[in-house]
Amino acid sequence: MSFWSHFSYAITIFLMVAGLYIVIARGNLIKKLVGLGVFQTSVYMLYIAPGKLIGGTAPIIDANFKVYSNPLPHVLILTAIVVGVATLALGLALVVRIREAYDTIEEDDILASDEGEPGGDGQRR
């Protein structure tokens, strides 16, 4: 259990923490979505990295190779990526709608305008 044997986890955790920080600390909604993307990629790393075997190759069966990396995480992450971009699009659509309703995409302004006039003109146009 040296440091290098857990290096991939360190990268994963760094990315995850960075994504988390962006999501929590930034008020802009698009920025938040980008942070969510970073977080998501850290999860990809978390899945893919243990599947790698040093000396193995990509899981495409060939007579010349004996050792393959683990294909199962690849499958899971493959679906996760496409779902991720679909949800990203959905989130962006929501942001666009929010911007049309509130004229801002800053979280604080949205909260302020909600408190200012609850159920008022800000919500539906």
Contact positions with another protein (CB under 8 A) in 50-79: 50-54, 56-62, 64-65, 68-79
Q: Which two tokens stand for residue 19?
A: 């994504």
The least distance separating another protein from the CB of residue 112, rounded to whole angstroms, comes to: 12
Footprint on residues 106-125 left by another protein (CB under 8 A): 106, 108, 125
**Rounded-to-integer distance, Cα 83 and Cα 89, Å:** 10
Is 92 near another protein (CB under 8 A)?
yes
Phi-psi category of residue 117: left, alpha or beta, with phi > 0 → left and psi -120 to 50 → alpha:
beta
Binds another protein (CB under 8 A): choice among 36, 43, 95, 112:
95
Q: Which two tokens stand for residue 56?
A: 């193995």
